[in-house]
Each structure stands twice: as C-alpha cells, then as structure tokens.
C-alpha cells in the first residue's frame, strides 16, 4: 500500500477528514458573523459596512481580524468574505 493510500485510509478510519470537510461546507456565513465577529464588534458596526465594502475590502478586513485574533477557520474565510460582499445595507440577520 502506498504511503498516500495508507494515510487516506487512516484518515478515513479515524473519521477526521470527512467531518472536517463537512463542517467547512456546512457553515452558515451569517451565523459565523454572529458567532465570531460580534465577539468584538456590535452588529451595528458590521452593518454599516454592508453594501459599502467590496470583495477585496472585506477580504482585507477579515484577514486583519484573523491577524488580531478572530477565531475563524481558514476554510470558512472565502465563504464569509463572499457573503459579506454580497449583502446590502440593512440585511438581516446582522442588521436589526
């Protein structure tokens, strides 16, 4: 058995690969904003930038927040950035 195949079998046998992949695919970006971003920022602060920042600006913002300690999995960042960039001012659930 090749090393790659052995590693894959062990990974699957331990149930590590698939659950981690499923978690990354199933994350709701809105819930991520509520659970991660609002640890330090009010929803109003986040809301005022919806519809203002584009994809690149949100990417820079999220990268900055991660460097400052935001607990966000790297696999969740692209979906979160896309979701934030696609929101309009006043969009729920971030804006009340």
Reported as a single tens digit per residue, the pLDDT across 26-46 is 689 999 999 999 999 999 999
Residue 39 lies in a domain: yes
Residue 91 lies in a domain: no
Show the CA angle centred on residue 90, arms to residues 86 and 91, nearest 5°: 45
Residue 6 lies in a domain: no
Residue 32 lies in a domain: yes
Rounded to the nearest integer, the mean pLDDT of the chain is 83
pLDDT at res. 48: 95
Nearest to 80 by CA among 56, 54, 52, 59: 59
How many domains does the chain fold into? 1
The residue range of the domain holding 55 is 28-86
């Amino acid at each position: 058995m090749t090393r790659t195949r052995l590693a894959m079998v062990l990974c699957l046998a331990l149930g590590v690969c698939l659950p981690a992949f499923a978690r990354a695919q199933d994350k709701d970006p809105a819930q991520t904003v509520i659970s991660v971003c609002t640890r330090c920022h009010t929803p109003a602060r986040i809301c005022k930038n919806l519809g203002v920042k584009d994809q690149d600006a949100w990417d820079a913002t999220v990268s900055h927040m991660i460097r400052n300690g935001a607990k966000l999995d790297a696999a969740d960042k692209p979906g979160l950035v896309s979701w934030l960039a696609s929101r309009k001012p006043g969009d729920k659930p971030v804006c009340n």
